[in-house]
Amino acid sequence: MLDCIKIEDMNDKLEKALPASPQSGPYVVQVEEGREYRWCSCGLSANQPWCDGSHEGTPFEPIAFVAPLSAEFHMCGCKRSDNKPYCFGTCRGQHRTLDQR
Ligand code: FES
């Protein structure tokens, strides 16, 4: 007999899936105002912090990000930020709520 998993159990597993965490700390990148980027949420891209399509077949999808200005941005590298796609210090145990700044 084949080992099978019930569809509801599979959905539960997918909901709880954690992304890969390519680095602890942000990717510091220069972005151009008005340009759309696709931030990698699965952690598998070889072109971090941006999506290269490696998420295919995973429950993850890239997050669209339109740069509000031309500047250096700190994009989440651990993929667990509470403020995706930006680094929020989550990987360093420095999680803060907005009213604690
Ligand atoms: S490669 Fe990670 S979301 Fe696309």
| pLDDT tens by residue, 21-57 | 999 999 999 999 999 999 999 999 999 999 999 999 9
The answer to whether residue 37 sits within a structural domain is yes
Q: Report pTM.
A: 0.77
Q: Which atom of ligand 1 is nearest to the CA of 43?
A: 2
Q: Does residue 76's CB lie within 6 angstroms of at least one atom of ligand 1? A: no
Q: Is residue 24 part of a domain?
A: no
Q: Which of 27, 40, 48 to mutate to test the pocket of ligand 1 (most atoms within 8 A of CB)?
A: 40
Domain that holds residue 43: 30-100
Q: Using CA atoms, how far apart are residues 8 and 55, in angstroms rounded to an integer?
A: 22
- Measured at the alpha carbon of residue 26, what is the angle toward residues 25 and 30, in degrees to the nearest 5? 155
Ligand 1 lined by 85 (C-beta under 6 Å): no
Q: What spacing in Å lies between the alpha carbon of 50 and ligand 1's midpoint?
A: 7
Q: Does residue 53 belong to any structural domain of this protein?
A: yes
In a domain, 7, yes or no: no
13 is a domain residue: no
The answer to whether residue 78 is domain-embedded is yes
| Bridge partners, 27 (sequence order) | 75
Give how many domains the chain has, as a whole number. 1
